[in-house]
Amino acid sequence: MLKLEAHDVDSMAPERKKQLEVQDIGKTHASLLAQAMLDAPGPLREMITESITSMTTDDLVSMAKNRTATHVLQRALTCSGQTKLFLRQTVQRFQGHLSELAVDPIASHVVDTLWTATEGLFFIRERFAQELLEYESALKESFSGRAVWRNWMMDLYKRRRLEWISQAKSSANGVNDSESRGVVNYDATNKSGIELAREKYAANKAKRK
């Protein structure tokens, strides 16, 4: 449904640019349709999830970086009632690519959704955290990487591993990355478990100073 293509827009003729603008509008509509299908459990959702699972890992990584298609991937990983089979099969394919995705302004949001997608799959969640830790320097050199580092509570993982494990096992909700990226678009009175855990950690850290 969504084609992943890259174009050198700056070198194109005005007519070609207009054609691409029309195509972009079409891709946006296709993305919104696919997201709506994912919100409908049953055959419609299965059409999208089967398409995703049939992708190569390289195509999946490209999808995560695509400014239109990435929203479909994020919705597929976080929609209510998504099957554990799909989540297990899909999220594991990002192993070995987390550092590349975390520093990408678009794909970094997919890394954030992997927290939600690994609910009940702690062994994968911990494996991902270890991979992020291995690329700490690269992540901290990037705005997107620093946001991922905070959202995955990597300072806690690095310094107090047992406490991170306890939080990671008990968290029933995913990461909301809007605050760390400077965007306020959620109800502060309806915070997720992981958000409350981060606030508690920050408060305790402030007390020790």
Tell whether the model's pLDDT for residue 78 goes beyond 90: yes
Residue 39's alpha-carbon distances to 75, 81, 170, 181, in angstroms, are: 8, 9, 26, 26
Percent of the chain with pLDDT over 70: 69
Position 179 scores a pLDDT of 45
Token couple for 17: 């640019």
Token couple for 193: 């478990």
Mean pLDDT of 84-107: 95
Confidence of residue 35 (pLDDT cuts 50, 70, 90): confident
| Average pLDDT over all residues of the chain | 80
Q: How far is C-alpha 169 from the chain's CA centre?
A: 19
Position 175 scores a pLDDT of 54
| Gyration radius of the chain's alpha carbons | 18
Helix runs in 54-188, H state only: 57-65, 69-78, 84-91, 98-102, 108-117, 122-134, 136-140, 143-151, 154-159, 161-170
Confidence of residue 189 (pLDDT cuts 50, 70, 90): very low
Q: How far is C-alpha 203 from the chain's CA centre?
A: 26
Position 186 scores a pLDDT of 30
Phi, psi of 105 (to 5 degrees): -55, -30
For residue 79, the 8-state DSSP code is S
Segment 124-181, tens digit of pLDDT: 999 999 999 999 999 999 999 999 999 999 999 999 999 999 999 986 444 555 444 5
